[in-house]
Amino acid sequence: MRRKKEKRFRVKYAVLGEGITEQWYLQHLKEFKGYVFVIRPSLFADITIEKAEGIIDELVTGGCNQITFLTDYDTIVSQGKKDIFDKILKKYENIDEVLICNSMPSIELWFLLHFKYTTKEYVNCNELVKDLKVFLPEYQKKRTYLEKVDWFSKLVKGRGGENAKENAIKLLKIIDAGNVGEYFPFSKMPMAIEKFEKQITNNER
């Protein structure tokens, strides 16, 4: 008796988080907003930018409709991988299905923008977290903290989510205008959120 071939589940929408902070944020965001993306990798483990590229390539080849990759720019710089990152940006710049969503210095900038608008330059995430702790005093980049939904709930309370998008867009417009410092803060998360919203609509068709 011939065994039937198993049908492989095709991922329509995928989001990659390079570290556990991104992945837990995405998990909470997905549950809160009802987004339909699948998180890769699924084990809440740190991955390298090289491994992320391999996963993106596999998803593109598999016919994934949209792939978003969240990464921290300060990590890219500190690990001496700016040239690698620039090549990845170039590689996918004309592929509509792929969005490289980086934040400077890190995704914590996006979190901070939920509470306040700032153009303060941070060399790295540690400097930024000091300011974030004004609003999230217990904040830690550890699973024991990130897996709890309390900190995420504080982000989205009231107009938190809308404030973050508005504040981030202001920063991106300043960058587009030029004349900014090497460590000028930014986050492309508004572009990612826009993709997530469209995925819900497209999934319902």
Stretch 172-192: mean pLDDT, rounded? 94
Tell whether the model's pLDDT for residue 77 goes beyond 60. Answer: yes
Q: What is the mean pLDDT of the chain?
A: 92
Other Cβ atoms closer than 10 A to 175: 13
CA distance 137 to 96: 39
Please list the alpha-helical segments (H only) found in the chain.
Answer: 20-33, 49-61, 73-78, 82-92, 107-112, 125-132, 143-146, 150-156, 160-177, 189-203
- What type of residue sits at position 140? Q
Average pLDDT over residues 86-91: 95
What pairs with residue 98 in β-bridges?
A: 67
pLDDT in tens, 39-73: 988 878 778 899 999 999 999 999 999 999 999 99
Q: What is the pLDDT of residue 18?
A: 87
Give CA–CA dist 156/153, Å, rounded. Answer: 5
Range scoring the smallest mean pLDDT among 16-30, 40-54, 99-113, 159-173: 40-54
Domain boundaries, the chain: 13-203
Instruction: Report which of 92, 102, 38 is spatially closest to residue 70, judged by C-alpha positions.
Output: 102
Percent of the chain past pLDDT 90, that is, above it, reads 82
Confidence (pLDDT) at 204: 64
Instruction: List all residues 6 or more positions away from 18 whose beta carbon is below 8 Å from its beta carbon.
Output: 46, 47, 48, 49, 52, 69, 70, 71, 72, 75
- State residue 205's pLDDT score: 58
How high is the pLDDT of residue 121? 96
What's residue 201's pLDDT? 85
Mean per-residue pLDDT for 184-200? 96
pLDDT tens digits, one per residue of 129-158: 999 999 999 999 999 999 999 999 999 999
Regarding beta strands 66-72 and 38-40, do their DSSP bridges make them parallel or antiparallel, or are they unpaired?
A: unpaired
